[in-house]
């Protein structure tokens, strides 16, 4: 387990700068970051919660309409390819998504992965895992509408929940736990951990992992970040922080 004192924690605004610099300065686009995030999430799901073998396991993937949802859909694709029976629950229909996120939904449709709205979920007693990709670091205030309904549904299931980047409903910068917020068994955060994962927010995070999405360490030294980040992923693409 890595010493978390050696790692910088970011606010939501700083993570916006990371994503912007990735595209503007390095030409590394959202679809590439999303693929890295989703593949790592699927790997963690398989190794930590599915006994190292996804074949025949039942997974529910909750996906919002932003980048976090796109990463969760990539995770669903990989788990499906590895033999899992995957149900994807969307806050919006695929036809109502946009850009790269819509592209991920259309791939799942072509693969005949089951896609439903939260009110259409058919209860299955044999579910093994819920993946939370509803809301990412851009959360502003308490979750509303379909997102809030999905969070409450997940928490009521009493199944392990693996959250992408941070539990949906948690403020990435302050750690404020809104109502409702996912109560995760584990969280896989991306690039660098978010400040909200510490302090009060820690109680909903569960085990904390950090995953590589391909950010060049040199990027962090650029303005306005001005951070010195070493080569965190020189041995593993996924690190356990707590």
What pLDDT digit, counting tens, does each position of 87-138 carry? 999 999 999 999 999 999 999 999 999 999 998 988 877 899 999 999 999 8
Position 51 scores a pLDDT of 97
Token digits for 144?
A: 């509303």
Instruction: Please tell me the predicted confidence (pLDDT) of residue 199.
Output: 83
Q: How far apart are CA 217 and CA 221, in angstroms?
A: 8
Residue-range domains of the chain with CATH:
4-119+128-240 (3.40.50.10260)
CA atoms within 13 A on the CB side of 176: 11
Six-digit token pair at 22? 């990735």
Is residue 213 within 8 A of residue 37, CB to CB? The reply is yes
**Contact call for residues 64 and 135 (beta carbons, < 8 A):** yes
Q: What is the pLDDT of residues 175-228, one digit of tens each?
A: 999 999 999 999 999 999 999 999 878 999 999 999 999 999 999 999 999 999
Rounded-to-integer distance, Cα 149 and Cα 147, Å: 5
Confidence of residue 1 (pLDDT cuts 50, 70, 90): low
pLDDT above 90 (res 47):
yes
Residues in CB range of 24: below 8 A, 6 or more apart:
none
Looking at the predicted structure, is the pLDDT value of residue 2 above 90?
no
Q: Between 200 and 84, whose confidence is greater? A: 84
Confidence grade of residue 3 (pLDDT, cut at 50, 70, 90): low
CB of 167 closer than 8 Å to CB of 133: no
Q: Encoding tokens for residue 192?
A: 């660098």
Whole-model pTM: value is: 0.96
pLDDT tops 60 at residue 4? no
H or E, element range at 211: strand 207-211
| Nearest CA among 186, 187, 173 for reference residue 10 | 173
């Amino acid at each position: 387990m890595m010493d978390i004192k050696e790692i910088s924690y970011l606010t939501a605004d700083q993570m916006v700068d990371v994503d912007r610099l990735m595209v503007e300065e390095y030409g590394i686009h959202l679809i590439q970051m999303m693929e890295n995030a989703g593949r790592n999430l699927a790997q963690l799901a398989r190794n930590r919660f599915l006994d190292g073998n996804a074949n025949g396991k039942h997974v529910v993937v909750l996906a919002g309409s932003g980048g976090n949802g796109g990463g969760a859909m990539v995770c669903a694709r990989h788990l499906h390819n590895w033999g899992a029976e995957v149900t994807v629950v969307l806050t919006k229909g695929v036809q109502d998504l946009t850009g790269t996120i819509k592209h991920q939904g259309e791939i799942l449709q072509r693969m005949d992965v089951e896609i439903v709205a939260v009110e259409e979920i058919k209860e299955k007693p044999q579910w093994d895992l819920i993946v939370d990709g509803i809301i990412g670091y851009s959360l502003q205030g308490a979750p509303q509408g379909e997102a809030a309904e999905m969070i409450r549904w997940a928490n009521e299931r009493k199944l392990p929940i693996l959250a992408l980047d941070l539990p949906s409903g948690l403020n990435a910068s302050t750690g404020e736990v809104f109502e409702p917020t996912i109560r995760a068994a584990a969280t896989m955060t991306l690039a660098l951990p978010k400040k909200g994962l510490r302090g009060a927010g820690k109680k909903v995070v569960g085990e904390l992992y950090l995953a590589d999405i391909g950010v060049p360490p040199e990027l962090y030294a650029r303005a306005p970040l001005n951070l010195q980040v070493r080569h965190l992923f020189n041995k593993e693409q996924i690190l356990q922080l707590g």
